[in-house]
Amino acid sequence: MKSKEFRVVVLISGNGSNLQAIIDQVKAQQLPVVISAVLSNKADAYGIQRAKAANIDTITINNQEFTSRDAFDAAMQQEIDKYQPDLIVLAGFMRILSDDFVNHYLGRMINIHPSLLPDYRGLNVHQRVLNDSKTVHGVSVHYVTPELDHGPVFLQSQVPVKPNDDADTLAKRVQQEEHKIYPLAIKWIAEKRLDYNHGNLLLDGKPLHSPQFLHKVMTESDRQSGSH
Ligand code: GRF
């Protein structure tokens, strides 16, 4: 294990398209990290095949074989820490994490959530956005803290909601942005541009009071006010 490597462990439960985006950026030498391992709580997660195809170590720990969340999380922690990771990347990991696990990786664990946090925490986000007739939606990357989907957000990207969208078309549009912003978020951390600093985020040494945006959607009111 080379000491100057920035080591990442990715946690998944399913398809792993975000994992793939990260793998592709590493392969293209656009993301200066080593993906040390991919951990899934489901043996049949397609993301495990993606990791194997990229010669990345895989770990499967079936949460159903544990009697408590704490025991499952402790087993994960033991496996993850063998890799001495600098960063834990949650990429569609569909388990709520115990406080002990989160606190062990505090400031070293990030998540991607398919909404413009703090709006639409939790599940079924795209349908809820459609139900509310929103015209702008998006995705957020945030540090993980014990309260679900509440940790400090540092990078977001917006997408338009189109009149004929259903939850699937909207999810696809959001995912295209996910695949851009998640590798970028990891890059900022690996390059030490972003610092957690006890929850007070610093970007390039300056306090980050609100998230950065990769893309913004111009709304009707932006147009009317002439802003760009
Ligand atoms: C993504 O939509 C992400 O925002 C959410 O889980 C999904 C994972 O998708 N946290 P994939 O497995 O990376 O394709």
Q: Could you give the domains of the chain?
A: 1-105 (3.40.50.170), 113-139+148-228 (3.40.50.170)
**For residue 219, what pLDDT is reported?**
79
Whole-angstrom Cα distance, residue 58 to residue 36? Answer: 9
**For residue 220, what pLDDT is reported?**
74
Q: Which two tokens stand for residue 112?
A: 């991607």
**For residue 4, what pLDDT is reported?**
84
**For residue 223, what pLDDT is reported?**
76
Q: Which two tokens stand for residue 124?
A: 């079924």
CA–centroid distance, 219 to ligand 1, in Å, is 26
Q: Determine whether the shortest distance from the Cβ of 91 to ligand 1 is under 6 A.
A: yes
CA–centroid distance, 6 to ligand 1, in Å, is 23
CA–centroid distance, 118 to ligand 1, in Å, is 18
From 104, 113, 126, 215, active-site residue: 113
What is the distance, to the nearest Å, from the Cα of residue 172 to the centroid of all Cα atoms in its chain?
16
Ligand 1 atom 5, closest CA: 92
Whole-angstrom Cα distance, residue 125 to residue 160? Answer: 15
CA–centroid distance, 179 to ligand 1, in Å, is 9
CA–centroid distance, 171 to ligand 1, in Å, is 10
**Three-class SS of the chain:** CCCCCCEEEEEECCCCHHHHHHHHHHHCCCCCCEEEEEEECCCCCHHHHHHHHCCCEEEECCHHHCCCHHHHHHHHHHHHHCCCCCEEEECCCCCCCCHHHHHHCCCCEEEEECCCCCCCCCCCHHHHHHHCCCCEEEEEEEECCCCCCCCCEEEEEEEECCCCCCHHHHHHHHHHHHHHHHHHHHHHHHCCCEECHHHCCEECCEECCCCEECCCCCCHHHHHHCCC
Known active-site residue 228: no
Ligand 1 atom 9, closest CA: 92
Of ligand 1's listed atoms, the one at least distance from the Cα of 16 is 12
Ligand 1 atom 6, closest CA: 92
From first to last of the 228 residues of the chain, give the pLDDT tens digit.
555 899 999 999 999 999 999 999 999 999 999 999 999 999 999 999 999 999 999 999 999 999 999 999 999 999 999 999 999 999 999 999 999 999 999 999 999 999 999 999 999 999 999 999 999 999 999 999 999 999 999 999 999 999 999 999 999 999 999 999 999 999 999 999 999 999 999 999 999 999 999 999 987 777 787 655
Whole-angstrom Cα distance, residue 199 to residue 197? Answer: 5
> Counting beta carbons within 10 angstroms of the beta carbon of residue 41, is it exposed (0 to 12), middle (13 to 18) or buried (19 or more)?
buried
Confirm if 87 and 189 have CB atoms less than 8 A apart.
yes
Ligand 1 pocket, mutate which of 97, 168, 175, 176 (most atoms under 8 A from CB): 175
